[in-house]
Amino acid sequence: MNLANFLARSARTFPGRPAVSVGESEWINYGDLMSRVAAMAAAFRHSLGLVPGDCVALAMGNCPQYVEIWYAAWYAGLTTVPMNAKLHPKELEFILQNSRARVCFASSDLAHPLAALRANLPALERVIEVASPDYTALYRAEPNIAMSETAPDDVAWLFYTSGTTGRPKGVMITHRNLVCMALSYFSVVEGIAPGDCVLHAAPMSHGSGQYNFPHMLVGANQVIPESGHFEPAEIFQLCRRWSGVTMFAAPTMVHRMVAHARKHAPALDGLKTIVYGGGPMYLRDIKAALDAMGPRFAQIYGQGESPMTITALSKFHIGERNHPRYEERLASVGVAQPPVEVRVADAQDQALQAGEIGEVLVRGDTVMRGYWRNPDASMETLRNGWLHTGDVGSFDEDGFLTLRDRSKDMIISGGSNIYPREVEEVLLLHPAVSEVSVVGRPHQEWGEEVIAFIVVHDGSSVREQELDALCLNHIARFKRPKSYRFVPDLPKNNYGKVLKTALRAQLQGEAVEGQAR
């Protein structure tokens, strides 16, 4: 099924309803969006000479053109390559070169730098600025082509990983993957009414953009902040303008929204659901969010390789405060979603019993086709028919999955495994601690030792002895940090994830400097 059918269905049923809005104003309705998409698809094929299977890249922040370019590309049988607008030009160059994109749509701030790269990109024929007459001409073409007959395993979305452990890899996400993802949303999060909205405050090139599908399917409104990015005050204002608002938010975004809500007590009537994911949500932080903003939260755990579709912690389970294991469940990432099987496995991919810790494996119709032009990585990650996530976790007897850490972040000290998240959860119990990240540092005798980077709340202070005592009251002595580093902030990527690689590099640099002395 071609994803463009989602738009065609809603345009027939709800032609006059808002399809895309910017800030508090409607930008286009479903009937007009369908007309523009069909015209653009014809222009892609006739004016730009693109053929089914070609790649079209998007280099821009959140904007309404995202939606029409996506659906026009799929209508024409093309593959979209959304790119994070905050990447360095050399990172964008790599993605354009690797994907062999023939056309790149860009915002005004990126159009010129990308055009300058064309000499190094023989496949890239055009860079089109979305505010230019060249772009406007595309949707003024005659819509004289039929929607492409795509196969279920045709690639719809080429998603490039963050590349924190090397060059980014292009994840081939198919029409089948995304249709299954959209349908799963209704069974694990909640239903969506035609008058509801999805608010794109997180990057549309990643998780937030993928929430367009279930909302497009039922004729809901795609709302893009006028700022184009995440600003808590603007988000709460838009929740007063629109009703039935759902948004995807990384844990760091939730943290900022909670701080704003506590300080300003904004009206929350229009805010329906915040789906959080993309990084660890600590128990302390989700409890604070529930206290400040009420039962408006759900959690989805997924990866680029199985987008939004591994497990889910529903609003029902998050709101079931009287359950005897409520806090354990709240600290989990929920239960397996309907389209997939999820297994915690040993090194031979054999399933482990409840309570045993191993790698999280996934299989089902939401799992990627493989990595673009990278058969070796595809074979390694998809071996034995399972997606190997690289995440370490365990199931409880009720099927709730708790993530311990990324396998590469686990610390082995004196032959014992230490999961940084367990230590981080304890350190966050101290009222002065705002953020924390725990990493391992090489140690000649023990292999590794535990180091904690601590950010304290403004105006607060904490002594190392207090943190030591806190750890000794909650976890085994060997898990206690051997050193605390108090820092003004933690290094993060553009999606709010803490870059533990940068922290480990800092420690390595200090060690080299110490040896030089």
Task: Please tell me the distance from the alpha carbon of residue 289 to that of residue 309, in angstroms, as a whole number.
Answer: 23
User: What's the confidence (pLDDT) of residue 165?
Assistant: 47
Q: Find where tokens 């009287």 sit.
A: 322
The stretches of 118-169 forming alpha helices (DSSP H) are 133-138
Task: Please tell me the distance from the alpha carbon of residue 121 to that of residue 98, in angstroms, as a whole number.
Answer: 10
Task: Please tell me the distance from the alpha carbon of residue 213 to that of residue 1, in angstroms, as a whole number.
Answer: 13
User: How far is the CA of 326 from the CAs of 14, 283, 300, 315, 332, in angstroms?
Assistant: 41, 11, 17, 13, 10
Domains and CATH numbers, the chain: 4-395 (3.40.50.12780), 410-516 (3.30.300.30)
User: What's the confidence (pLDDT) of residue 282?
Assistant: 87
The CA angle 174-179-180, to the nearest 5 degrees, is 100
User: What's the confidence (pLDDT) of residue 513?
Assistant: 61
User: What's the confidence (pLDDT) of residue 209?
Assistant: 96
pLDDT, tens only, 385-417 = 999 999 999 999 999 999 987 777 888 887 677
Q: Does the structure show a pLDDT above 90 at 447? A: no
Q: Does the structure show a pLDDT above 70 at 117? A: yes
- Count the alpha carbons within 13 Å of 70 in the hemisphere toward its beta carbon: 26
pLDDT, tens only, 313-358 = 999 999 999 999 999 999 999 999 999 999 999 999 999 999 999 9
Task: Please tell me the distance from the alpha carbon of residue 415 to that of residue 403, in angstroms, as a whole number.
Answer: 21
Name the band, by pLDDT with cuts 50, 70 and 90, for residue 308: very high
Per the CB < 8 A criterion, the answer to whether 338 and 184 are in contact is yes
The CB density around residue 1, as the number of other CB atoms within 10 Å, is 12
Using CA atoms of 223, 228, 229, 233 in order, give the dihedral in degrees to the nearest 10: -70
Q: Find where tokens 């939260």 sit.
A: 297
Task: Please tell me the distance from the alpha carbon of residue 131 to that of residue 112, in angstroms, as a whole number.
Answer: 13
CA 344 from chain centre, in angstroms, equals: 22
Q: Model pTM greater than 0.75?
A: yes
Written as one string, the DSSP assignment of 291-321 is HHH-S-EEEEEEETTEEEEEEEE-HHHHH-T
Per the CB < 8 A criterion, the answer to whether 454 and 485 are in contact is yes
Q: Does the structure show a pLDDT above 60 at 149? A: yes
Helix (H) or strand (E) holding 13: helix 4-13
User: What's the confidence (pLDDT) of residue 404?
Assistant: 85
Contacts of 196 (CB under 8 A, 6+ apart): 215, 218, 220, 221, 243, 244, 245, 246, 272
